[in-house]
Chain A
């Protein structure tokens, strides 16, 4: 029998260890996605299925409701992601100095994240309903009141809700990155007369790209999770400003429109993959100096 080298054995063990994960991903993610991809170029279901090529895609791009949903989703991501990263980073920087002293504060930051969806929605209703606390306050002050949940303002309410719920989680993730930066770097910089701003720019930020990327990915996932709250606030058809892609997918499913469901999913996947790839490449470049 041929004797295996250590590296060969390690490789085999590695493959054996990773195999369940690869199989799981293949069965539960890759195969369904390939099926969706296939269905996106067909019309009909089961025996009535017909190959239609890319006509589902062209129809979808001309669908005004899909464009609205897609546009709203991208707009929400474009505003929410940078905002949550900046706010979380700022809070994490403030907390960094006392990271080990304020364990309770860190737990408090996570409270909104673990709060049940129903309670969150109730809170939004109490605050932003037509007869909610905010409007009552405005009315008392003699200011004009607004329909916060059924007008364009709903977008900003949802944005605030997202930030309130997820910033704490972002802070924790970034904080864990900040504490890994060696204090020696800052001490050396201080000896060289670097200002706080210079320390942030030349020491902290360059070493935080991985953490920021990681936080961005989780914030993106949480942004999609935010649909639960939006759905409970506005139902299947909320104000047009908060009609998201998940609304479209959900409603298309109820109406048994497999083609629309498949095409919307593929297009969303494509856009997110491109964004992810570009960001990842950019972060890789920034982190290249470590190699």
Chain B
């Protein structure tokens, strides 16, 4: 009798466990809030498909909170979960610490940026610390991804030796745009120094020195735990930045003020005080919406060189084509003459994932042509543009261009242009004379091909994951100490500030 009961008990346990296992297949996806780039929407679409394809599978999409206090609590909790081996199955995260999305709700769209503390301050470091699972087996066997179209250098940033831990999804790199051909590729330091030496104000305005580590030489050697950059290199960058800022800031402010006034006067009187117009900024010189509205474009303002990122080159190429101006693209090199790209969005399988094959399948769908080129993003009814623009949930807000480029880079341009073209249709033309005419020039048979954006084919020497530093330890904070808002240099000691930045880099590498 005892034996029979024992056997029954074991059988019940086993069948119970089996049934439970099937019902309990859960994929926990952690991601950040997004509107303009449509990543949340795409993740939702993939989640729905996966649940349909695998009965019994539940995909829990967790969007991390952006409220500071709530976020800190959640991040702490997540870190404990990760360290204890119970972390998320999938990470679908942007790099950096700024989330950009539209606030919506009015005809004039307002971009909202929120500064957040990322879950991983350094994705490379997290990779070294074993937070992610090696998916090289799945990736190598995957026949669905068009690997021939992928930007190989960027994809390889997610590998350590033979193991592949991260699947980069989007990337960016700095590009130099000129109206005339250049003799050679030059570093940001050489270009800015030349502009300052020649006292070429327009060139100084167009060359925007980043206040991040983006164009500095390679910084971290994660293998040995040594810093590759020296204090002297940081000091030299900061010194030049101060000189550049002192010239560029007042001139840029003056130019923008002039343009603001001109823009205001362009608007019919009945609208002048009715609508809130977004302020102009340096990005306006290369924005299709500002070209439609005010005929703004850097080359039309006699700015001889203009720095932007890879995704912005689409707009520049389109405007240059319409106004029949020559456009040349060069990689904007780091201070030591290298071409660097940064991963801006990535997916990774958590090291504690119980269903790595499903998790990989989820992320790999993000690498398919349709997701990479965002063909899945729904399109509203453009017959009534005003209503479409007021719809907060509509992910394709006119004028919102994705901030980075898909890793399925080769062949991406026509698809991305199709989106920009669609977004351009939403342009409201009754606020500026000639706006409709200009916007219509971009519609119809107008098309951009890969050959229009040579920047996509630039060879890349190094690919990085941007590293997050608390505000008071960042390079941007140190640089903000050097100048007043009007560009006047302060008495801040550059050497001391460079030393503090170096120290922050040192802490970061040694503690992680």
- Say whether A associates with B: yes
Residues of B within 8 A of A49 (CB): 130, 351
Query: Do B225 and A63 touch across chains, with their CB atoms under 8 A apart?
Result: yes
Q: Spot the interface stretch: A13-21, A184-192, A252-260.
A: A252-260
Q: Spot the interface stretch: A39-47, A93-101, A114-122, A210-218.
A: A39-47
Known: A44-B351, A62-B225. A253 touches B512 (CB 8 A): no
Query: Do B507 and A257 touch across chains, with their CB atoms under 8 A apart?
Result: no
User: With the chains together, A248 CA to B472 CA distance in Å?
Assistant: 18
With CB as the reference atom, state the residue of chain A lying closest to B352.
Answer: A46
- Whole-angstrom distance between the Cβ of A11 and the nearest chain B Cβ: 37
With CB as the reference atom, state the residue of chain A lying closest to B512.
Answer: A255
Residues of A within 8 A of B504 (CB): 237
User: With the chains together, A48 CA to B511 CA distance in Å?
Assistant: 20
With CB as the reference atom, state the residue of chain A lying closest to B131.
Answer: A256
Query: Do A259 and B129 touch across chains, with their CB atoms under 8 A apart?
Result: yes
User: With the chains together, A30 CA to B82 CA distance in Å?
Assistant: 22
Known: A256-B120, A256-B126, A258-B129. A45 touches B510 (CB 8 A): no
Residues of B within 8 A of A279 (CB): none
- Whole-angstrom distance between the Cβ of A130 and the nearest chain B Cβ: 15
Q: Specify which of A47, A63, A64 is in contact with B351 (CB 8 Å cutoff).
A: A47
Residues of B within 8 A of A237 (CB): 473, 503-504, 507
Query: Do B129 and A256 touch across chains, with their CB atoms under 8 A apart?
Result: yes
Any A CB within 8 A of the CB of B34: no
With CB as the reference atom, state the residue of chain B lying closest to A50.
Answer: B130
Give the residues from 52 to 77 in chain A that come closer than 8 angstroms, CB to CB, to chain B.
Answer: 59, 62-66
User: With the chains together, A235 CA to B469 CA distance in Å?
Assistant: 13
Known: A49-B130, A59-B225. A258 touches B511 (CB 8 A): no
Residues of A within 8 A of B133 (CB): 47-48
Q: Specify which of B82, B87, B511 is in contact with A251 (CB 8 Å cutoff).
A: B511
Proximity string of chain B (333-372) to chain A, C-beta cutoff 8 Å, 1 when within and 0 when not: 0000000000000000011110010000000000000000
Residues of B within 8 A of A59 (CB): 225
- Whole-angstrom distance between the Cβ of A27 and the nearest chain B Cβ: 16
User: With the chains together, A260 CA to B225 CA distance in Å?
Assistant: 12
Residues of A within 8 A of B508 (CB): 255
- Whole-angstrom distance between the Cβ of A32 and the nearest chain B Cβ: 11
Any B CB within 8 A of the CB of A236: yes
- Whole-angstrom distance between the Cβ of A256 and the nearest chain B Cβ: 5
User: With the chains together, A165 CA to B125 CA distance in Å?
Assistant: 39
Residues of A within 8 A of B86 (CB): 46
Residues of B within 8 A of A256 (CB): 79, 82-83, 120, 126, 129, 131, 512
Known: A237-B507, A248-B511, A251-B507. A257 touches B473 (CB 8 A): no
User: With the chains together, A254 CA to B470 CA distance in Å?
Assistant: 12
Any A CB within 8 A of the CB of B132: yes
User: With the chains together, A284 CA to B85 CA distance in Å?
Assistant: 44
Any A CB within 8 A of the CB of B506: yes
Query: Do A46 and B225 touch across chains, with their CB atoms under 8 A apart?
Result: no
Any A CB within 8 A of the CB of B37: no
State how many residues of chain B have any CB contact under 8 Å with chain A. 34
- Whole-angstrom distance between the Cβ of B473 and the nearest chain A Cβ: 7
Proximity string of chain A (253-284) to chain B, C-beta cutoff 8 Å, 1 when within and 0 when not: 11111111000000000000000000000000
Q: Specify which of A45, A66, A252 is in contact with B130 (CB 8 Å cutoff).
A: A45
Any A CB within 8 A of the CB of B374: no
Query: Do B83 and A258 touch across chains, with their CB atoms under 8 A apart?
Result: yes
With CB as the reference atom, state the residue of chain A lying closest to B225.
Answer: A63
**Number of A-B contacts defined by CB within 8 Å:** 87
With CB as the reference atom, state the residue of chain B lying closest to A249.
Answer: B511
- Whole-angstrom distance between the Cβ of A24 and the nearest chain B Cβ: 21
User: With the chains together, A253 CA to B83 CA distance in Å?
Assistant: 8
Residues of B within 8 A of A63 (CB): 225, 510
Query: Do B129 and A45 touch across chains, with their CB atoms under 8 A apart?
Result: yes
Q: Which of B87, B120, B121, B511 has the most CB of A within 10 A?
A: B511
Any A CB within 8 A of the CB of B134: yes
Q: Specify which of A44, A62, A65, A260 is in contact with B507 (CB 8 Å cutoff).
A: A65
User: With the chains together, A260 CA to B129 CA distance in Å?
Assistant: 9
Residues of B within 8 A of A253 (CB): 79, 83
- Whole-angstrom distance between the Cβ of A131 and the nearest chain B Cβ: 18
Q: Specify which of B87, B122, B134, B507 is in contact with A46 (CB 8 Å cutoff).
A: B87
User: With the chains together, A64 CA to B133 CA distance in Å?
Assistant: 29
User: With the chains together, A235 CA to B85 CA distance in Å?
Assistant: 28
Residues of B within 8 A of A50 (CB): 130
Q: Specify which of B129, B350, B470 is in contact with A255 (CB 8 Å cutoff).
A: B129
Give the residues from 37 to 96 in chain B that come closer than 8 angstroms, CB to CB, to chain A.
Answer: 79, 82-83, 85-87
User: With the chains together, A244 CA to B136 CA distance in Å?
Assistant: 40
User: With the chains together, A3 CA to B93 CA distance in Å?
Assistant: 70
Query: Do B129 and A65 touch across chains, with their CB atoms under 8 A apart?
Result: no
- Whole-angstrom distance between the Cβ of B512 and the nearest chain A Cβ: 4
Residues of B within 8 A of A43 (CB): 129-130
Query: Do A254 and B121 touch across chains, with their CB atoms under 8 A apart?
Result: yes
Query: Do A255 and B122 touch across chains, with their CB atoms under 8 A apart?
Result: yes
Query: Do A48 and B121 touch across chains, with their CB atoms under 8 A apart?
Result: no
With CB as the reference atom, state the residue of chain B lying closest to A260.
Answer: B511
User: With the chains together, A248 CA to B507 CA distance in Å?
Assistant: 9
Give the residues from 104 to 130 in chain B that come closer than 8 angstroms, CB to CB, to chain A.
Answer: 120-122, 125-126, 129-130
User: With the chains together, A50 CA to B121 CA distance in Å?
Assistant: 23
User: With the chains together, A23 CA to B494 CA distance in Å?
Assistant: 58
User: With the chains together, A257 CA to B122 CA distance in Å?
Assistant: 12
Q: Specify which of A65, A255, A258 is in contact with B121 (CB 8 Å cutoff).
A: A255
Known: A45-B351, A45-B352, A237-B473. A255 touches B511 (CB 8 A): yes
Residues of B within 8 A of A47 (CB): 133, 351-353, 356
- Whole-angstrom distance between the Cβ of B509 and the nearest chain A Cβ: 8
The 6 closest A-B pairs by CB, nearest first: A44-B130, A65-B510, A46-B85, A46-B352, A255-B512, A48-B351
21 A-B pairs (CB sep. < 8 Å): A45-B85, A45-B129, A46-B87, A47-B133, A47-B352, A48-B134, A48-B351, A59-B225, A63-B225, A65-B511, A236-B470, A248-B511, A252-B511, A255-B125, A255-B126, A255-B511, A256-B83, A256-B120, A257-B125, A257-B512, A258-B129
Q: A46-B350, A248-B511 are in contact. List 16 more A-B contacts (CB 8 A).
A: A45-B82, A45-B130, A46-B86, A46-B351, A47-B353, A48-B132, A59-B225, A63-B510, A64-B510, A65-B507, A236-B470, A251-B511, A253-B79, A255-B126, A256-B512, A257-B512
